[in-house]
Amino acid sequence: MSSQLFTSKHNTLARLSLLLFVAGAAGFLGFMDMLHRSSYVRYTKVRREQPVPFSHKHHTNLGIDCRYCHTSVETSSFANVPPTQTCMNCHNVMWKESDMLGPVRESWETGESLEWTRVNDLPDFVYFNHSIHVNNGIGCATCHGRVDQMALTWREKPLFMKWCLECHRDPAQFVRPDDKIFDMAFDPKSLPLEERQALVEEYGIDTSNQRLTNCSICHR
Amino acid sequence: MTLRPLHLIFCAGLLVTAGCGPLFDIRKAMYDQPKYEPLEVTDFFGDRRSARPLIDGTVAQGHIQLDDHLYLGLEEEDGDFRQAQTYPFPITADDLNRGEEMYNIHCSVCHGKSGHGNGMVVRRGYKEAPSYHRDVLRNAPPGYFIGVINNGFGQMASYSHQIPVEDRWRIVAYIQTLQRSQFANVEDLEAIQVFIEEPITEHSSPEHANEH
């Protein structure tokens, strides 16, 4: 028996364990990064539970425009969730016995609010204004996806800053004509690039001096 | 023992992993700051609304409604109020286009795109809406329609919470356009060019617009 506690093979083992540790740490970081982008954390494509299983698909298929309920989207930073009265415009007569609509009727009778689960929620350190976007050529579907095909609503985009910047760096990629803003099926890319560049001009979107990518445009 | 690059990477890795926990907490606090976004839930008030309802007898700034013509569709005549026969502002082609857009969003669901009262919601079982092309409605003044939008009528609820007041008047202008369209003559088609380039003078006049 040698007096040495560690034999030469332990050298290899030590090196290997060091390597494994580094690889493990890198793997862990990589995993955290993936987790951070995953739909598990970002809630993308996850159907959210709601007090009433409201289907955008059903209602838009009837020909109801986004703005029938989201009335403030053209004038306000916030695209409102409608008051119970808007539901009751139709549902005072239609499906008025339906169990699914029970919470709506209860809210109507008691005057208490329905507590919907928010689907798209930007961090509080981001300023976002709906009206400036829909009045300057950005359609609902660009950010919200095909809500008109969602039964239970989900979040379409992970809402990364990188994603916002894609458009703020080059609005001509996403801009659409004024009469197509609420057209969910319209694809801006179906227009030639020159036409979209002309639209950017027409809307007066100022892309000079990196104005749209200035930090304080969104972080104010 | 000398410091090798591998040791440095090892230490950096340790620091980063140790730092992740608090970092995520900070991020979370920044994401959801102690302020209320519109319609956010609160535990502070009993009704859980951070958006507070108006206190009885108060008016929110900028929301006072003194103009009876604009807000109620009423005109004063000999100390008495009657349904406004005129518009509170001149209706231009832009106003009509906006009226069409708003009509198709808010009204056509029941009244139908042509105003015959057979919109999708009616076809799905709602009480039938009256046609705008009946004599009694064709002869109704703009103020009548404003009254119905404001107060509702029969099964129809008030739409004043949904449609800004100027847009209500634009909708009325579009309804009157629809009514006219159903009884148009060939000669009217020639007039269309004028119609879309100049304000309609029949139902509005600059004098009335100046009053408000």
Residues of B at the A interface (Cβ-Cβ below 8 Å)?
6, 9-10, 13-14, 16-17, 20, 30-33, 35, 37-39, 41, 47-49, 104-106, 108-109, 120-121, 124-127, 155-157, 159, 161-164
Going by C-beta distance under 8 Å and a sequence separation of 6 or more, which residues neighbour residue A101? A52, A87, A91, A95
A213/chain B closest Cα distance in angstroms: 21
Q: Could you count the other beta carbons within 10 Å of the beta carbon of residue B164?
A: 14
In chain A, which residues have pLDDT < 50? none
pLDDT at B206: 43
What is the band of B2 on the pLDDT scale with cuts at 50, 70, 90?
Answer: low
Structure tokens at A117: 């689960």
pLDDT at A167: 95
A3/chain B closest Cα distance in angstroms: 22
- Per DSSP, B153 falls in state B
The CATH class given to the B68-210 domain equals mainly alpha
Using an 8 Å CB-CB cutoff, list chain A residues near B6.
Answer: 18, 22
Please state the domain extents for chain B.
Answer: 68-210
Mean pLDDT of chain B: 85
Structure tokens at A189: 């890319």
Helix axes B5-31, A9-37, angle to 10 degrees: 20
Global ipTM: 0.87
Using an 8 Å CB-CB cutoff, list chain B residues near A32.
Answer: 20
- Contact assignment for B162 to A65 by CB distance below 8 Å: no
In chain B, whose CA is at the least distance from the CA of A19? B6
Alpha-carbon span B169 to B163, nearest angstrom: 10
pLDDT tens column, B170-201: 999 999 999 998 988 877 777 666 656 555 55
- Contact assignment for A62 to B109 by CB distance below 8 Å: yes
Burial label for A199, CB within 10 Å (0-12, 13-18, 19+), is buried
CB A58 within 8 A of CB A151: yes
pLDDT at A139: 96
**Each residue of A101-131: b (16+ CB within 10 Å) or e?**
bebbbebbeeeebbebeebeeeeeeeeeebe
Indicate if the pLDDT at residue B19 is higher than 90: no
- Contact assignment for A124 to B162 by CB distance below 8 Å: no
pLDDT at B12: 79
- Contact assignment for B30 to A68 by CB distance below 8 Å: no
pLDDT at B204: 46
pLDDT at B212: 39
Q: What are phi and psi of B75, to 5 degrees?
A: -120, 145
pLDDT at B199: 54
- In 3D, which of B53, B174, B62, B105 has the Cα closest to residue A65? B105
Indicate if the pLDDT at residue B142 is higher than 50: yes
Indicate if the pLDDT at residue B37 is higher than 50: yes
Alpha-carbon span A153 to A119, nearest angstrom: 7
Using an 8 Å CB-CB cutoff, list chain B residues near A93.
Answer: 125-127, 155
In chain B, whose CA is at the least distance from the CA of A70? B162
A182/chain B closest Cα distance in angstroms: 11
CB A99 within 8 A of CB A133: no
- Contact assignment for A94 to B127 by CB distance below 8 Å: no
pLDDT tens column, A27-66: 999 999 998 888 888 889 999 999 999 999 999 999 999 9
